[in-house]
Amino acid sequence: GRSALHYACMAGHVDAASILIQHGATVDLADYSGRTPLHWAVYYGRYRPTKALLQNGANPSLTDYALHTPLH
């Protein structure tokens, strides 16, 4: 499945994403397809959650199960 952080980033809710991160959400947690919150934030063009994830240590080099990085 996906975490609350995945859904917050997909929807562009940077305030919710920031609160989740402050309370210990794992920024690089992969969902069932191997995609991290960063994959989804970039996919949906959510600039502010993307920036928040990167500022909090999200790894832009992680690949999903199809070997795509968030930038691919």
Q: What pLDDT is stored for residue 41 in this prediction?
A: 98
Non-local CB neighbours of 28 within 8 Å, separated by 6+ positions: 36, 38, 57, 58, 59, 62
Q: What pLDDT is stored for residue 65 in this prediction?
A: 98
Q: What is the pTM of this model?
A: 0.95
CATH architecture for the domain at 4-55: Alpha Horseshoe (1.25)
Total residue length of the chain: 72
Residue 72 has pLDDT above 90, yes or no: no
Write out the two tokens for 59: 């790894």
Residues 5-51 have pLDDT tens digits of: 999 999 999 999 999 999 999 999 999 999 999 999 999 999 999 99
Q: What pLDDT is stored for residue 43 in this prediction?
A: 98
Q: Domain residues of the chain, as ranges?
A: 4-55
CA distances from 12 to 15, 25, 65 (A): 9, 16, 24
Write out the two tokens for 4: 């609350």
User: Do 34 and 65 contact (CB within 8 A), yes or no?
Assistant: yes
